[in-house]
Structure 1
């Protein structure tokens, strides 16, 4: 259930996105951290003495995508869900949204929260950022789990398929690249657009109710959120270029877990990631589409906990 905001940390001066309602999760606290001139929002809980697990969500969601996973992890881990720049209650900066630039902001925010080393778990666009973060800041990571994501230059197909049975999963990559047209068509219709993604890409269309869809749509609509969401796609080619530039020097040097949904977008994340890392394992979560943390949160929490236990 979405509830009112109650944390003392949430002054209007602290919050970059002041007109967006702030939602609570019992046992967790809202935080903000400055990183490279960008203020990011994080939600933190669990024992600070436990291993730190940082969670990143993707399009068209916010940290709230992890709300069902976070309590299951917080009994033994220090859990921090971070809104990416432009997402949720984080600042929507101008400038580059290539994933290496964004990764530096995310890592800086985690460090500012007093967490020098951590496990990283990320979905969709969050996984784009996590892959680049692992390349640039791998010495600060214990491991990274990546959930159902077409990562630019890595697991993303080179071309959008034209087969109707496949095209509906990736058509938006090309649409989001078109200058100005998405903004003209989507402004004021964020609920319809966000609702299509959440209902079409989940295995069950009942996974998300109208309240959840409204929550995510409001975040996209607020204070430059749509511009920022599109920017991740518009900088995807630069993200891919910088990924391969980094990979020309070294592979990922941390343990990697690829988590796929049985009915998701990338059938085998582990196989797609294996050319780029030396230590890759995989899990396929049954009865799940693209939005695995919402659809099968217990399975995701268990996979993450097992990954951490097996890699320590």
Structure 2
């Protein structure tokens, strides 16, 4: 729910010619000390503790935890095929992908991750800049045995997916990101905008405040986050009540509530602009048609074509 416009979504893809898995000695990857093991205890927001999963979901998927960068990072893993890392949005966690994961698992090894501060991952007070979040994810994938992998991110996952490709590009074989802004690149509206824009985007400024937002929302999580789900989704009832209740309950944890605001407070502009200035991501085969152009203009347009959707708005079509 980072989107600057409900109908205008930035989409980009990176394709690399090398296969998703290579033969790099994974023990040599420059990652911090890691340990991975199945979740055995009844930890909230893991596969074993959430309800309303698709039939047979737990036959395919299990919760895993990786100790990396001094914290525990959670992911739900299952399927067979090239690895595909799914990154969730704000204020959700891995569960937002549970309906599509079984179909994806027929073709991919699916890794639906929780960023630090989300779901069943640890929720430290700091470390919510895009570079640190990307390092967490790279550590997660290395510990799970994947040296090269595709990444799909939505909302918050767009920023972290971009950061992962920018800082660990040698590991990202494909990137698909959608439905958010890129700090420092995407255009931002005026502080005082028309009523419709204000209604849609007011939470950006609110979430960036220090302390007062946490104090105002604590104990009223269902009001604030319930409003976000009702007004930012395609329709007020697009997200079923049981899912909203699950997300809201997770955010009643003071550490999770703090993290949900901290990701807005950090200044990612220098990081994103730095990766942008490095130039297009290299596909390894000289094919520059299928790259996410880090030299995007400040209009936020990625390498690709624009088309008009049924609303008449311009939408970005992924390069082909």
TM-score, length-normalised on structure 2? Answer: 0.73
2:272 match: 243
1:229-253 residue CA offsets vs partner (Å, 9 max, x unmatched) = 1000000x2x111111232223334
1:252 match: 281
Distance 1:96 1:214, change over 3 A: same
2:202 match: 171
- Which of 100, 104, 107 aligns to 1:73? It is 104
Alignment of 1:36-185 (within 5 A): 36-47=69-80, 50-155=81-186, 157=188, 159-160=190-191, 162-185=193-216
Partners of 1:86 and 1:225 within 8 A in 2: yes
1:272 match: 300
Partners of 1:256 and 1:280 within 8 A in 2: no
Distance 1:80 1:115, change over 3 A: same
Cα distance in structure 1, aligned partners of 2:104 and 2:126:
35
Higher Rg of the two aligned structures: 2
Partners of 2:280 and 2:292 within 8 A in 1: no
1:140-166 residue CA offsets vs partner (Å, 9 max, x unmatched) = 011111111012112251644511111
Cα distance in structure 2, aligned partners of 1:123 and 1:74:
19
Which has the bigger relative contact order, CA under 8 A and spacing at least 6? 2
Partners of 2:44 and 2:50 within 8 A in 1: no
RMSD: 3.0
Cα distance in structure 2, aligned partners of 1:282 and 1:122:
20
TM-score, length-normalised on structure 1? Answer: 0.75
The structure carrying a bigger helix percent of its residues is 1
Partners of 1:16 and 1:90 within 8 A in 2: no
1:299 match: none
* Of 184-193 and 224-233, the range deviating more from structure 2: 184-193
1:14-68 residue CA offsets vs partner (Å, 9 max, x unmatched) = 95989x9445661211111122112111001111xx1111101111111011111
Question: Per the alignment, in what secondary structure is the counterpart of residue 252 of structure 1?
Answer: coil
2:6 match: none
Q: 1:90: how far off?
A: 0.4
- Which of 55, 61, 79 aligns to 1:28? It is 61
Cα distance in structure 1, aligned partners of 2:226 and 2:193:
23
* Of 153-162 and 205-214, the range deviating more from structure 2: 153-162
Distance 1:45 1:17, change over 3 A: closer
Question: Per the alignment, in what secondary structure is the counterpart of residue 272 of structure 1?
Answer: coil
Cα distance in structure 1, aligned partners of 2:305 and 2:50:
36
* Structure 1, gaps ≥5 residues long: 1-7, 259-270, 288-302
